[in-house]
């Protein structure tokens, strides 16, 4: 895929070897699924708005920070190596986020690598890609992660996979031999305090074990993992946004979720709590780093 840029370094068009040409939307993203369609349901504009509200409040900032640290630790990339040569678009480090959503984690990742770093994020949601396109040095594409990715073989220095589907064949093809794959998965205690309150799905048993088995089967080996456990203080509005930005948002409106949360709130606040206006909620995830064998 070839990208033509405007004078402000924002994408103008994308073209492929077959001669297809895709113009960038006014908001800056490029929809490569035009005329193709997908069997998956993209996040709606309202769901994306909930995601923006929750993430920009900083509740998951520890996850973003740990991802950035994992990239620095398990690749040769770091902000201290920022040079004029590296800032060149062709030689600059590339971080790819497959299933990027609003680009929140991708933005944090490339920010930690200096001014020359660039990112590519793709998601099936045009609303999410539109938001990701606002990030400096990020190319935001509307694309299905289960299809062959529109990037060259062995082009990514790091690939992020945060609460998203995992296409191992494309991980292997797109990642440089020296690159690192960073995967974030929820652990059993993640959001346990509000699962019933917000109608969240339970965490699958043995999720981390399944991840490691899948990785090994596709030629990746674990080089590091960090179990992150933080306590978030969430008010009803934040709990509603958190629920709505996930799978529940495909079945219920934000108003419906908020009504449920508010009606059942008092029954979920411990009697020993110092305040009834917010709940202590556990953020418990595993950040795993993989290399190709």
Domains: count for the chain: 1
Query: Which neighbouring-strand residues pair with 158?
Result: 95, 180
- The phi and psi torsions of 245 (rounded to 5 degrees) equal -80, -10
Query: Which neighbouring-strand residues pair with 231?
Result: 282
pLDDT score recorded for residue 87: 45
pLDDT score recorded for residue 12: 67
Task: Write the CA distances from 175 to 37, 157, 182, integer angstroms.
Answer: 26, 6, 11
pLDDT score recorded for residue 37: 67
The secondary structure element, H or E, covering residue 30 is: strand 30-31
Local structure of residue 21 (DSSP, 8 states): E
Residue 141 sits in a domain whose CATH number is 3.40.50.150
Residue ranges making up the domain that contains 169: 2-292
pLDDT score recorded for residue 269: 82
CA 258-249-143 angle, to 5 degrees, is 150
Entry field: residues in the chain: 293
pLDDT score recorded for residue 275: 64
What is the pLDDT tens value at each position of the chain, 293 positions in all? 676 766 556 676 776 766 667 777 778 799 999 766 677 899 999 999 999 999 999 999 999 999 999 999 999 876 544 444 444 445 789 999 999 999 999 999 999 898 789 999 999 999 999 999 999 999 999 999 999 999 999 999 999 999 999 999 999 999 999 999 999 999 999 999 999 999 998 898 899 999 999 999 999 999 999 999 999 999 999 999 999 999 999 999 999 999 999 999 988 887 666 567 899 999 999 999 999 98
């Amino acid at each position: 895929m070839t990208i033509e840029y405007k004078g402000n370094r924002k994408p103008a068009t994308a073209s492929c070897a077959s001669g297809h040409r895709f113009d960038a939307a006014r908001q800056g993203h490029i929809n490569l699924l035009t005329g193709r369609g997908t069997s998956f349901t993209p996040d709606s504009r309202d769901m994306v708005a909930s995601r923006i509200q929750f993430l920009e409040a900083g509740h998951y900032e520890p996850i973003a920070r740990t991802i950035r640290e994992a990239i620095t630790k398990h690749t040769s990339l770091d902000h201290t190596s920022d040079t004029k040569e590296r800032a060149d678009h062709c030689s600059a480090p590339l971080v790819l986020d497959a299933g990027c959503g609003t680009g929140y984690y991708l933005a944090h990742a490339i920010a930690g690598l200096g001014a020359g770093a660039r990112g590519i994020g793709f998601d099936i949601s045009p609303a999410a890609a539109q938001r990701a396109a606002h990030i400096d040095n990020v190319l935001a594409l509307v694309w299905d992660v289960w299809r062959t990715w529109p990037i060259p073989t062995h082009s990514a220095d790091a690939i992020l996979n945060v609460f998203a589907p995992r296409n191992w064949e494309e991980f292997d093809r797109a990642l440089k031999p020296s690159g690192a794959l960073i995967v974030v998965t929820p652990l059993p205690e993640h959001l346990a305090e509000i699962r019933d309150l917000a109608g969240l799905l339970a965490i699958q048993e043995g999720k981390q074990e399944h991840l490691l088995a899948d990785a090994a089967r596709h030629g990746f080996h674990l080089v590091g993992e960090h179990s992150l456990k933080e306590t978030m203080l969430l008010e009803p509005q934040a709990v509603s946004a958190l629920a709505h930005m996930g799978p529940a948002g495909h079945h219920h409106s934000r108003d419906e979720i908020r009504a449920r949360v508010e009606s059942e709130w008092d029954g979920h606040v411990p009697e020993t709590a110092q305040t009834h206006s917010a709940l202590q909620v556990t953020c418990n995830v595993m950040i795993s780093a993989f290399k190709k064998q």
